[in-house]
Amino acid sequence: MNTPTEQPSATPILDLLEPLPKFDVERTNGRFAFPFLTFVAVIVFTGNLPSLFMPLGFLIINFSTIAIHEIGHLIAGWSAGLRFKGVRIDPFRIRIDSGRWQFRIRPRLFRGFAYMSLDRVRRIRSRLACYVFGGPAASLLLGIAAAVSGEMGLAHHYDSPWPTFLEFFGVWSFFIGCIALIPFKSLGFANDGMILRALLFRNAEALPMIASYALSAVKTGTPFSPGYVMRWFRLAARSSPLQSNHYAVNWVNYADAQEEEVAAQCLERCLAVSGYMEQDHRDMLIAESAFFTASRRNDPTKAAIWFNRIQSPDRLHVIWRSRARIALLCAQEEFDEAVSELNAAVAFIRAQPASAQGQKLESEWIAWREQIEALSRLAVVT
C-alpha cells in the first residue's frame, strides 16, 4: 500500500525549516584556494622558488587594481555628495551597518564593490552617473600613468623589478577599465557600463535604481514616512535589467497580496535575500515575519520564534515592534495584554506631530483594537 509523500514546503525559511541566509551571502569554498595552493605547492616541491613571484605578483597586481577602481568610485561619489556605506576589495569587506563599522574577510579574490547612498534627493541621475563613472576613470587614468612610468623606468633601471611591475599593473588596470565600460551582467549584477548606459540613455531601466537611491535619502521629522515614499517604493519595484535580487518587487507584491499563500511566498523571497541587508532592516523583515505568522497563519509557536530572532529590539521602530508583539499576543489569545500594548502604540502615534500618515495609521490601529476586543468577548463567551 502506497503512502502519500509529504510535499516540500514552498516557504522553508518562513516555516523555520531552513535558517536565514548568512550576512553577505558568502560561502567558503575551494574553487580558487585549491588550484592556487596546488600551483604554489608544485613550485615549492620542484624547488623553483623564484617562480613564486608569478602567482604572488598577480595577487598583488589584482588587489591593487581592484582597490584603485573602487577608490575611484568612492572619490567620485564623495565629490558628488554621496555617503559612504561600504566597500568590498577582495578579500576584505568594510561597511557601516546600522551606524556600526564592520570589518570582515571573505574567501574571494576577484571582485570589488563600492556602496554609497544619497545625502539628499537632488540631481540623482547626474550624481549617480558621476559615482559610477569614477571607477572606470580611475582604472584607465592610473593604468595609463603606471604603464608610462614603467616604460620610462625601464629605460634607466634595467635591473629593477619595479618598472616591469608598473607596466603589468598599468596594462591590467587599463584592461579592467575598458572591460568595465562594456555593458554586461556578471553573477546577476549589472556592471558599471550597463548602469552608466541606463543612467545616460535608458530612462525606463534607470528609474527603479534612481527610486531606490531616493528612498535611502528620505528624511522626515516624524516616525512616519511621507506619503510619496510608497510611490517611490513602487517605482523601485518596476522590472529592470539592473536589478539583482528583486527585493522591492517581492515586498510590494507581499503588501498587495490578498491570498495567504501568495503573500507567504513573496515574504519568503524577501527573506531569501536578507543576507544583503543591514541589521536594522533585517530586524524589520523578521518582525514582519512574526506578524505574518501570528496574524495570518495563527501559529503562535513559530511567531514567537520569529519575534525572538530580532537582534536589536531597542533599535527597531516602536510601531514595527508593537505590531509584531500585538499579533503574537492575539495568536496566544492574550487579548487584554494585546489591547494594552495597542493602546500604548496609539498614544505614541498621537504624541507625534500631526500628519496625514499619522492620522491614517491611528484610524487603522483603532479599528484593529475593536477587532481584538471583539475576539476577546467571543473568547469569554466560548
The answer, as to whether pTM is greater than 0.85, is: no
Give domain status of residue 122, yes or no. Answer: yes
Q: Which of 321, 301, 306 is nearest to 271 (CA)?
A: 306
Helices 318-331 and 279-295: crossing angle in degrees, nearest 10, is 30
Last residue of one domain, picked from the residues 202, 234, 254: 202
pLDDT score, position 50: 63
47-70 pLDDT, tens digit per residue, is 665 666 666 777 888 889 999 999
Number of domains in the chain: 2
- Phi and psi at 303, nearest 5°, equal -65, -40
Residue 252 — pLDDT band, cuts 50, 70, 90?
confident
* Mean local confidence (pLDDT), 181-188: 85
Q: What pLDDT score does 91 carry?
A: 80
Residue 45 backbone zone (phi > 0: left; psi -120 to 50: alpha; other: beta): alpha
C-alpha cell at 326: 500585538
Measured distance CA(242)–CA(190) in Å, rounded:
5
Cβ–Cβ < 8 Å for 358, 352: yes
Q: Out of 67-76, 119-128, 224-233, pick the least confident.
A: 224-233
- Select from 177, 202, 227 the last residue of a domain: 202
Res. 163 pLDDT band, cuts 50 70 90: confident
* Domain C-terminal end among 170, 202, 234: 202
298 and 193 fall within a common domain? no
Once rounded to an integer, what is the mean pLDDT over residues 345-373? 88
Question: Domain check: are 46 and 187 in the same one?
Answer: yes
Look over the chain and give the mean of its residue pLDDT values, rounded to a whole number.
Answer: 84
Tell whether the model's pLDDT for residue 312 goes beyond 90. Answer: no
- 12 part of a folded domain: no
User: Does residue 54 fall inside a structural domain?
Assistant: yes
Name the residue range of residue 125's domain: 31-202
Q: Is residue 193 assigned to a domain?
A: yes
Q: How far is CA 82 from CA 44, 78, 185, 196, 212, in A?
A: 47, 5, 24, 17, 14
- Position 129 pLDDT exceeds 90: yes
Contact 361, 319 (CB under 8 A): yes
- What does residue 188 show for φ and ψ, rounded to 5 degrees? 90, -5
The candidate with the shortest Cα–Cα distance to 254, out of 289, 278, 222, is: 289
11, part of any domain: no
Q: pLDDT band at residue 324, thresholds of 50, 70 and 90?
A: very high
> Is 9 inside any structural domain?
no
* Statement to judge: residues 45 and 162 lie in one domain: yes
On whether both 49 and 148 belong to a single domain, the answer is yes
Establish if 207 belongs to a structural domain.
no
Q: What percent of the chain clears pLDDT 90, i.e. is strictly above it?
A: 40
- Of 2-11, 159-168, 174-183, 312-321, the one with minimum mean pLDDT is 2-11
- pLDDT band at residue 3 using 50, 70 and 90 as cut-offs: very low
Query: Are 53 and 194 within one domain?
Result: yes
- Same-domain pairing of 195 and 309: no
Q: Which range is least confidently modeled, 26-35, 59-68, 222-231?
A: 26-35
Same domain, yes or no, for 37 and 169?
A: yes
- 161 shares its domain with 296: no
**At residue 151, does pLDDT exceed 70?**
yes
pLDDT of residue 121: 80
Q: Looking at the domain assignment, is residue 138 inside a domain?
A: yes
